[in-house]
Protein backbone atom coordinates (compact mmCIF):
# COMPACT_ATOMS: atom_id res chain seq x y z
CA UNK A 1 0.00 0.00 0.00
CA UNK A 2 1.41 3.36 -1.05
CA UNK A 3 0.63 6.46 1.02
CA UNK A 4 -0.32 9.51 -1.05
CA UNK A 5 1.82 11.82 1.09
CA UNK A 6 4.89 9.86 -0.03
CA UNK A 7 4.22 10.33 -3.76
CA UNK A 8 6.31 13.21 -5.07
CA UNK A 9 4.00 14.59 -7.74
CA UNK A 10 4.31 17.14 -10.51
CA UNK A 11 1.10 18.50 -11.99
CA UNK A 12 1.00 19.80 -15.56
CA UNK A 13 -2.02 21.77 -16.73
CA UNK A 14 -3.07 25.19 -17.92
CA UNK A 15 -6.78 26.10 -18.45
CA UNK A 16 -9.92 25.98 -16.33
CA UNK A 17 -10.56 22.37 -17.34
CA UNK A 18 -7.50 21.29 -15.33
CA UNK A 19 -8.54 22.99 -12.10
CA UNK A 20 -10.95 20.36 -10.75
CA UNK A 21 -8.40 17.55 -11.07
CA UNK A 22 -5.66 19.77 -9.61
CA UNK A 23 -7.88 20.61 -6.64
CA UNK A 24 -8.55 16.91 -6.16
CA UNK A 25 -4.83 16.14 -6.00
CA UNK A 26 -4.30 18.89 -3.44
CA UNK A 27 -7.11 17.55 -1.26
CA UNK A 28 -5.81 13.98 -1.63
CA UNK A 29 -2.66 15.03 0.22
CA UNK A 30 -0.12 14.27 -2.47
CA UNK A 31 3.34 15.74 -2.06
CA UNK A 32 3.02 18.28 -4.88
CA UNK A 33 6.59 19.35 -5.59
CA UNK A 34 5.91 21.45 -8.66
CA UNK A 35 3.36 22.68 -11.20
CA UNK A 36 4.12 23.14 -14.88
CA UNK A 37 1.86 25.44 -16.87
CA UNK A 38 2.01 27.55 -20.01
CA UNK A 39 3.63 31.01 -19.89
CA UNK A 40 1.48 34.03 -19.03
CA UNK A 41 -0.34 35.34 -22.12
CA UNK A 42 -1.76 38.75 -23.14
CA UNK A 43 -5.48 38.88 -22.42
CA UNK A 44 -8.38 41.25 -22.93
CA UNK A 45 -8.50 44.54 -24.79
CA UNK A 46 -5.60 45.92 -22.79
CA UNK A 47 -3.47 42.88 -23.71
CA UNK A 48 -2.06 42.71 -20.21
CA UNK A 49 -0.24 39.53 -19.26
CA UNK A 50 -2.53 37.12 -17.42
CA UNK A 51 -1.55 34.02 -15.49
CA UNK A 52 -3.12 30.67 -16.44
CA UNK A 53 -5.82 29.46 -14.00
CA UNK A 54 -3.60 26.57 -12.87
CA UNK A 55 -0.79 28.95 -11.94
CA UNK A 56 -3.12 31.07 -9.83
CA UNK A 57 -4.32 28.02 -7.88
CA UNK A 58 -0.78 26.74 -7.39
CA UNK A 59 0.37 30.07 -5.97
CA UNK A 60 -2.56 30.07 -3.54
CA UNK A 61 -1.21 26.79 -2.14
CA UNK A 62 2.48 27.82 -2.25
CA UNK A 63 3.36 25.16 -4.82
CA UNK A 64 6.39 26.03 -6.98
CA UNK A 65 5.38 27.04 -10.51
CA UNK A 66 7.40 26.47 -13.69
CA UNK A 67 6.43 27.99 -17.05
CA UNK A 68 8.90 26.83 -19.71
CA UNK A 69 8.20 27.84 -23.28
CA UNK A 70 9.49 24.47 -24.49
CA UNK A 71 9.27 21.44 -22.25
CA UNK A 72 11.58 19.47 -24.52
CA UNK A 73 14.59 21.77 -24.02
CA UNK A 74 17.45 19.94 -22.26
CA UNK A 75 17.73 22.46 -19.45
CA UNK A 76 13.97 22.24 -18.80
CA UNK A 77 14.07 18.44 -18.61
CA UNK A 78 17.06 18.65 -16.27
CA UNK A 79 15.22 21.13 -14.03
CA UNK A 80 12.22 18.80 -13.89
CA UNK A 81 14.46 15.83 -13.09
CA UNK A 82 15.81 17.71 -10.05
CA UNK A 83 12.29 17.61 -8.57
CA UNK A 84 12.58 13.79 -8.51
CA UNK A 85 8.90 13.18 -9.33
CA UNK A 86 7.40 9.77 -8.59
CA UNK A 87 4.31 10.71 -10.62
CA UNK A 88 3.41 13.31 -13.22
CA UNK A 89 -0.29 14.10 -13.75
CA UNK A 90 -1.20 15.94 -16.95
CA UNK A 91 -4.50 17.68 -17.75
CA UNK A 92 -4.74 19.96 -20.81
CA UNK A 93 -1.17 21.18 -20.39
CA UNK A 94 -0.74 22.29 -23.99
CA UNK A 95 2.71 20.83 -24.72
CA UNK A 96 3.86 17.41 -25.88
CA UNK A 97 5.88 15.52 -23.28
CA UNK A 98 9.18 14.28 -24.73
CA UNK A 99 10.49 10.79 -23.97
CA UNK A 100 13.00 12.23 -21.50
CA UNK A 101 10.11 13.50 -19.35
CA UNK A 102 7.97 10.37 -19.81
CA UNK A 103 10.83 8.28 -18.45
CA UNK A 104 11.35 10.31 -15.24
CA UNK A 105 8.63 9.20 -12.77
CA UNK A 106 8.58 5.63 -11.49
CA UNK A 107 4.77 5.58 -11.53
CA UNK A 108 4.67 7.13 -15.01
CA UNK A 109 2.90 10.12 -16.51
CA UNK A 110 -0.89 9.89 -16.24
CA UNK A 111 -3.10 12.03 -18.45
CA UNK A 112 -6.76 12.92 -17.94
CA UNK A 113 -8.25 13.09 -21.44
CA UNK A 114 -11.75 14.42 -22.07
CA UNK A 115 -13.07 11.57 -24.20
CA UNK A 116 -13.81 7.88 -24.11
CA UNK A 117 -10.63 6.74 -25.79
CA UNK A 118 -9.74 5.67 -28.39
CA UNK A 119 -12.53 7.89 -29.75
CA UNK A 120 -11.70 11.58 -30.13
CA UNK A 121 -7.97 11.66 -29.59
CA UNK A 122 -6.53 15.13 -29.96
CA UNK A 123 -6.92 18.70 -28.75
CA UNK A 124 -10.67 19.31 -29.07
CA UNK A 125 -12.56 16.20 -27.92
CA UNK A 126 -15.33 18.13 -26.17
CA UNK A 127 -16.18 20.11 -29.29
CA UNK A 128 -15.97 17.08 -31.53
CA UNK A 129 -18.12 14.75 -29.43
CA UNK A 130 -21.02 17.19 -29.81
CA UNK A 131 -20.35 18.06 -33.45
CA UNK A 132 -20.34 14.37 -34.31
CA UNK A 133 -23.70 13.90 -32.64
CA UNK A 134 -22.51 11.45 -29.97
CA UNK A 135 -25.00 10.78 -27.19
CA UNK A 136 -22.39 9.84 -24.58
CA UNK A 137 -19.20 11.63 -23.52
CA UNK A 138 -16.63 10.90 -20.87
CA UNK A 139 -13.07 11.01 -19.63
CA UNK A 140 -10.24 8.50 -19.70
CA UNK A 141 -7.12 8.41 -17.56
CA UNK A 142 -4.22 6.92 -19.45
CA UNK A 143 -0.53 6.17 -19.17
CA UNK A 144 1.17 8.59 -21.51
CA UNK A 145 3.49 7.46 -24.27
CA UNK A 146 5.17 9.26 -27.14
CA UNK A 147 2.03 9.09 -29.31
CA UNK A 148 -0.95 11.45 -29.36
CA UNK A 149 -3.37 10.09 -26.73
CA UNK A 150 -2.36 6.53 -27.64
CA UNK A 151 -1.23 5.25 -24.23
CA UNK A 152 -2.79 2.43 -22.23
CA UNK A 153 -6.14 3.28 -20.65
CA UNK A 154 -6.60 3.15 -16.88
CA UNK A 155 -10.01 4.42 -15.73
CA UNK A 156 -13.03 5.52 -17.77
CA UNK A 157 -16.04 7.52 -16.63
CA UNK A 158 -18.99 8.44 -18.88
CA UNK A 159 -22.09 10.63 -18.85
CA UNK A 160 -24.97 11.32 -21.25
CA UNK A 161 -24.91 14.40 -23.48
CA UNK A 162 -28.10 16.46 -23.23
CA UNK A 163 -29.84 17.30 -26.55
CA UNK A 164 -29.34 21.07 -26.17
CA UNK A 165 -26.01 20.91 -24.33
CA UNK A 166 -23.20 23.16 -25.56
CA UNK A 167 -19.48 22.48 -25.52
CA UNK A 168 -19.12 25.01 -22.71
CA UNK A 169 -21.68 23.25 -20.55
CA UNK A 170 -20.25 19.80 -21.26
CA UNK A 171 -16.74 21.13 -20.53
CA UNK A 172 -17.75 21.98 -16.95
CA UNK A 173 -19.35 18.58 -16.31
CA UNK A 174 -16.41 16.68 -17.78
CA UNK A 175 -13.92 18.69 -15.70
CA UNK A 176 -15.61 17.37 -12.55
CA UNK A 177 -15.78 13.87 -14.01
CA UNK A 178 -12.06 14.07 -14.73
CA UNK A 179 -11.42 14.79 -11.07
CA UNK A 180 -13.42 11.67 -10.13
CA UNK A 181 -11.60 9.50 -12.66
CA UNK A 182 -8.20 10.70 -11.43
CA UNK A 183 -9.21 10.11 -7.80
CA UNK A 184 -10.11 6.51 -8.66
CA UNK A 185 -6.88 6.11 -10.62
CA UNK A 186 -4.85 7.38 -7.67
CA UNK A 187 -6.69 5.10 -5.24
CA UNK A 188 -5.98 2.07 -7.43
CA UNK A 189 -2.33 3.11 -7.80
CA UNK A 190 -1.92 3.34 -4.04
CA UNK A 191 -3.68 0.01 -3.52
CA UNK A 192 -1.58 -1.72 -6.17
CA UNK A 193 -4.68 -2.63 -8.22
CA UNK A 194 -4.22 -0.26 -11.17
CA UNK A 195 -4.56 -2.18 -14.44
CA UNK A 196 -3.85 -1.08 -18.01
CA UNK A 197 -5.87 -1.66 -21.18
CA UNK A 198 -4.30 -1.28 -24.61
CA UNK A 199 -6.24 0.95 -26.99
CA UNK A 200 -7.71 -0.49 -30.17
CA UNK A 201 -6.26 1.84 -32.81
CA UNK A 202 -8.83 0.68 -35.37
CA UNK A 203 -11.54 2.41 -33.31
CA UNK A 204 -9.71 5.72 -32.98
CA UNK A 205 -10.97 9.05 -34.28
CA UNK A 206 -9.20 12.40 -34.26
CA UNK A 207 -10.40 15.69 -32.76
CA UNK A 208 -8.06 18.35 -34.09
CA UNK A 209 -7.78 21.83 -32.65
CA UNK A 210 -10.70 24.02 -33.68
CA UNK A 211 -10.23 27.07 -35.90
CA UNK A 212 -12.59 29.98 -36.45
CA UNK A 213 -13.31 28.89 -40.02
CA UNK A 214 -14.62 25.55 -38.72
CA UNK A 215 -17.70 27.44 -37.57
CA UNK A 216 -18.88 28.46 -41.05
CA UNK A 217 -22.39 27.04 -41.51
CA UNK A 218 -23.24 25.16 -44.69
CA UNK A 219 -27.01 25.57 -44.89
CA UNK A 220 -27.27 22.76 -47.45
CA UNK A 221 -26.62 20.31 -44.61
CA UNK A 222 -29.51 18.88 -42.59
CA UNK A 223 -30.78 20.78 -39.56
CA UNK A 224 -29.52 18.25 -37.00
CA UNK A 225 -25.96 18.43 -38.35
CA UNK A 226 -26.01 22.23 -38.21
CA UNK A 227 -27.55 22.23 -34.73
CA UNK A 228 -24.75 19.96 -33.50
CA UNK A 229 -22.15 22.28 -35.06
CA UNK A 230 -23.65 25.32 -33.35
CA UNK A 231 -23.69 23.83 -29.87
CA UNK A 232 -20.36 22.06 -30.39
CA UNK A 233 -18.66 25.42 -31.07
CA UNK A 234 -20.39 27.38 -28.30
CA UNK A 235 -18.78 29.40 -26.75
CA UNK A 236 -15.70 29.19 -28.99
CA UNK A 237 -14.97 29.52 -31.84
CA UNK A 238 -18.74 29.94 -32.48
CA UNK A 239 -20.81 28.94 -35.49
CA UNK A 240 -21.51 31.71 -37.97
CA UNK A 241 -23.08 32.63 -41.26
CA UNK A 242 -23.27 35.93 -43.15
CA UNK A 243 -26.01 38.53 -43.42
CA UNK A 244 -25.62 41.09 -46.18
CA UNK A 245 -21.85 40.65 -46.12
CA UNK A 246 -21.50 40.80 -42.34
CA UNK A 247 -20.50 37.86 -40.16
CA UNK A 248 -23.45 36.72 -38.08
CA UNK A 249 -22.77 34.40 -35.16
CA UNK A 250 -25.62 32.15 -34.12
CA UNK A 251 -26.29 30.23 -30.90
CA UNK A 252 -28.99 28.56 -28.85
CA UNK A 253 -30.55 26.68 -31.76
CA UNK A 254 -33.18 23.99 -32.05
CA UNK A 255 -34.20 21.66 -34.84
CA UNK A 256 -37.70 22.39 -36.16
CA UNK A 257 -39.96 21.74 -39.12
CA UNK A 258 -39.83 23.86 -42.24
CA UNK A 259 -38.64 23.84 -45.82
CA UNK A 260 -37.35 26.22 -48.43
CA UNK A 261 -34.17 27.35 -50.11
CA UNK A 262 -31.20 26.41 -47.94
CA UNK A 263 -30.27 29.42 -45.83
CA UNK A 264 -33.54 31.27 -46.43
CA UNK A 265 -35.26 32.98 -43.49
CA UNK A 266 -38.68 31.37 -43.06
CA UNK A 267 -39.76 33.49 -40.09
CA UNK A 268 -38.22 36.09 -37.81
CA UNK A 269 -40.03 37.28 -34.71
CA UNK A 270 -39.83 37.28 -30.93
CA UNK A 271 -40.07 33.49 -30.89
CA UNK A 272 -36.88 33.06 -32.92
CA UNK A 273 -35.41 33.17 -36.41
CA UNK A 274 -36.23 30.06 -38.43
CA UNK A 275 -33.89 29.21 -41.32
CA UNK A 276 -34.38 26.54 -43.95
CA UNK A 277 -31.69 23.85 -44.17
CA UNK A 278 -30.93 21.19 -46.76
CA UNK A 279 -33.33 19.04 -44.78
CA UNK A 280 -35.60 20.48 -42.12
CA UNK A 281 -35.14 23.89 -40.53
CA UNK A 282 -33.24 25.47 -37.66
CA UNK A 283 -34.64 27.86 -35.08
CA UNK A 284 -32.08 30.40 -33.88
CA UNK A 285 -32.66 32.01 -30.48
CA UNK A 286 -29.46 34.09 -30.16
CA UNK A 287 -27.55 36.12 -32.76
CA UNK A 288 -24.52 38.41 -32.75
CA UNK A 289 -23.14 40.88 -35.28
CA UNK A 290 -19.48 42.07 -35.30
CA UNK A 291 -18.68 44.43 -32.44
CA UNK A 292 -22.06 43.84 -30.84
CA UNK A 293 -23.30 41.79 -27.89
CA UNK A 294 -25.08 38.48 -28.32
CA UNK A 295 -28.80 39.26 -28.46
CA UNK A 296 -31.92 37.19 -28.10
CA UNK A 297 -33.84 36.74 -31.34
CA UNK A 298 -36.54 39.07 -30.02
CA UNK A 299 -34.05 41.89 -29.36
CA UNK A 300 -32.20 41.24 -32.61
CA UNK A 301 -35.24 41.50 -34.92
CA UNK A 302 -36.46 44.50 -32.97
CA UNK A 303 -33.31 46.36 -33.95
CA UNK A 304 -32.81 44.91 -37.43
CA UNK A 305 -35.64 43.60 -39.53
CA UNK A 306 -35.07 40.26 -41.25
CA UNK A 307 -37.18 40.03 -44.38
CA UNK A 308 -38.67 36.64 -45.11
CA UNK A 309 -36.74 34.98 -47.91
CA UNK A 310 -33.45 36.64 -46.98
CA UNK A 311 -30.76 34.07 -47.66
CA UNK A 312 -28.08 33.78 -45.00
CA UNK A 313 -24.62 32.82 -46.16
CA UNK A 314 -25.23 34.09 -49.68
CA UNK A 315 -22.22 35.54 -51.47
Q: Are residues 182 and 39 in the same domain?
A: yes
Alpha-carbon gap, residue 21 to 72, rounded angstroms = 24
Preceding peptide of 283 cis, ω within 30°: no
Decide: helix, strand or coil at residue 216.
Answer: strand
Q: Which runs of E-coded beta strand occur in 114-224?
A: 136-143, 153-160
Residues 288 and 249 sit within 8 Å (Cβ to Cβ): yes
Determine the pLDDT at residue 45: 76
Report in angstroms the alpha-carbon separations of 259 from 171, 215, 239, 275, 287: 34, 23, 21, 8, 21
**Domain for residue 311, yes or no?**
no
Residues 21 and 15 sit within 8 Å (Cβ to Cβ): no
| φ, ψ dihedrals at 179, nearest 5° | -60, -45
Decide: helix, strand or coil at residue 100.
Answer: helix
Determine the pLDDT at residue 46: 79
**Domain for residue 11, yes or no?**
yes
Alpha-carbon gap, residue 103 to 98, rounded angstroms = 9
Q: Are residues 225 and 289 in the same domain?
A: yes
Domain that holds residue 264: 214-303
Which domain-ending residue is among 170, 203, 236? 203
Q: Are residues 195 and 218 in the same domain?
A: no
Which domain-ending residue is among 203, 225, 248? 203
Half-sphere exposure of 127 (CA within 13 A, CB side): 21
Alpha-carbon gap, residue 95 to 279, rounded angstroms = 41
Determine the pLDDT at residue 134: 98
Residue 170 belongs to what H/E stretch? helix 167-191
Half-sphere exposure of 7 (CA within 13 A, CB side): 25
Q: Are residues 190 and 283 in the same domain?
A: no
Q: Are strands 8-13 and 87-91 parallel, antiparallel or unpaired?
A: parallel
Determine the pLDDT at residue 242: 97
Q: Are residues 166 and 292 in the same domain?
A: no
Q: Are residues 78 and 165 in the same domain?
A: yes
Domain count, the chain: 2
Calculate the CA 222 to chain-centre distance: 25
Quote the pTM value. 0.95
| φ, ψ dihedrals at 34, nearest 5° | 180, 150
Candidates 28, 32, 110; CA nearest to 65 is 32
Calculate the CA 199 to chain-centre distance: 21
Instruction: List, for the chain, all residue ranges whose pLDDT scores fall below the cut of 50.
Output: none
The angle subtended at Cα 158 by Cα 286 and Cα 186, nearest 5°, is: 125
Residues 80 and 120 sit within 8 Å (Cβ to Cβ): no
Which CATH number fits the domain that encloses residue 56? 3.40.50.170
Alpha-carbon gap, residue 35 to 113, rounded angstroms = 18
Q: Are residues 184 and 226 in the same domain?
A: no
Q: Are residues 140 and 281 in the same domain?
A: no
Alpha-carbon gap, residue 130 to 228, rounded angstroms = 6
Amino acid sequence: MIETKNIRTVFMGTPDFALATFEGLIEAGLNLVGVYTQPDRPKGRGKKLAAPPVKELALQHDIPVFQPRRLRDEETVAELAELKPDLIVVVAYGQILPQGVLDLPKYGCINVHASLLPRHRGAAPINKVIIDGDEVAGVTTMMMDIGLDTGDMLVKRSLPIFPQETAGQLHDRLALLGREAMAETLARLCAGTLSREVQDDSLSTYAGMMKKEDGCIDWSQDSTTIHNLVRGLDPWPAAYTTLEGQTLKVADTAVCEGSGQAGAVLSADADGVVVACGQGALKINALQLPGKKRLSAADFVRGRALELGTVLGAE
